[in-house]
Amino acid sequence: MTRGKILAETIMQEAVAAPTITLPPVQPAPEPAAPTILGTPAVRLVVNRIAYAVKRGSPLCIVSGEHGAGKTTAATLYANSNPRALYWQAPPEYNAREIVADLCDKLGIRTGEAWRVRTSVLVSHLQEHPHTVLIDEAQRLDYRALDMIKYVADTAGVTFVLLGSPWLDRVIDRHTDIASRAWVRVRVKPIELDAFTALYEPMGYSKKVLKAVHEVTKGVMRSITALFDHLDEAIAGTPGMARADLTPDHVRGVADEVLS
């Protein structure tokens, strides 16, 4: 089993077993390899809140935040670790009928094309075989799609996790009937400097370099990961250079090329 899989299983066990939504401390990787995004507080928080929402029986769980903050990573981690979880991304103009069709397809439900029959069979199936449904890019959903999700969640007694950009909060809150079913919410924020430093300093980077990385990426993990990949590639191509030799100027120079 790879170190990444071990870390993923540990995060899931901690999140699901936690009696509250208090997060366990981040444990840096024991060897000087670039740490995975799985170890960030944001990912742990999202996994924990999803598990809490399912345990509480919340019809909807809303996860919002900037792109690249770890929402998708957390959702796929949860889905891959839970055989009764389904995850996919909503395409543009995703509608209620497509949601029902996709759910039926993913659950192996074979019915006719009749809209009401499909919905009825889907609800009955979920009542007998509960699944947690995670839909990413949910800010794309219109009211009819959200209303169908609410109906299925309420009638079948399952939890739908909707993940998306900060705009998702506005989409949900403009409809009081939808918002009333979201008993659990989490807003994912960029990683704080202290947590970021604790995660990456054991990998051989100086505090000055880490501060510079945090500044140019604004704490967004997707940008952080991309920047470190480019920095490590530059180090590998420079004989005798190590991570400890990097300077803030190196960071800013590479960031200007790959992040601007």
pLDDT tens digits, 104-156: 999 999 887 788 899 999 999 999 999 999 999 999 999 999 999 999 999 99
Q: Do residue 75 and residue 155 come from a single domain? A: yes
Q: Do residue 244 and residue 226 come from a single domain? A: yes
Q: For 75-93, what is the mean pLDDT?
A: 95
pLDDT band for position 259 (cuts 50, 70, 90): confident
Q: Residues near 176 by Cβ (< 8 Å), separated by ≥ 6?
A: none
Q: Do residue 238 and residue 109 come from a single domain? A: no
Q: Do residue 166 and residue 211 come from a single domain? A: no
Q: For 207-234, what is the mean pLDDT?
A: 92
Q: Do residue 113 and residue 225 come from a single domain? A: no
Rounded to an integer, what distance in angstroms lies between the CA atom of residue 61 and that of residue 105?
23
| Full residue range of the structural domain in which residue 245 is found | 193-258
**Token pair in block for residue 138:** 């949910």
Lowest-pLDDT range of 15-29, 136-150, 191-205: 15-29
Cβ atoms within 10 Å of 21's Cβ, excluding its own = 14
Tell me what percent of the residues of the chain surpass a pLDDT of 90.
63
Q: Do residue 142 and residue 235 come from a single domain? A: no
Q: Do residue 145 and residue 120 come from a single domain? A: yes
Inform me whether the pLDDT recorded for 22 exceeds 60.
no
Q: Residues near 232 by Cβ (< 8 Å), separated by ≥ 6?
A: 34, 243
**Token pair in block for residue 13:** 């066990």
Domain boundary among 134, 163, 188: 188
Inform me whether the pLDDT recorded for 24 exceeds 50.
no
Is the pTM value of this prediction over 0.75? Answer: yes
How many domains does the structure of the chain reveal?
2
Q: Do residue 106 and residue 152 come from a single domain? A: yes
Domain boundary among 188, 203, 222: 188
Q: Do residue 72 and residue 181 come from a single domain? A: yes
Tell me what percent of the residues of the chain surpass a pLDDT of 70.
85
Inform me whether the pLDDT recorded for 26 exceeds 50.
no
pLDDT at 102: 96
Q: Residues near 156 by Cβ (< 8 Å), separated by ≥ 6?
A: 122, 123, 126, 127, 130
pLDDT at 240: 86
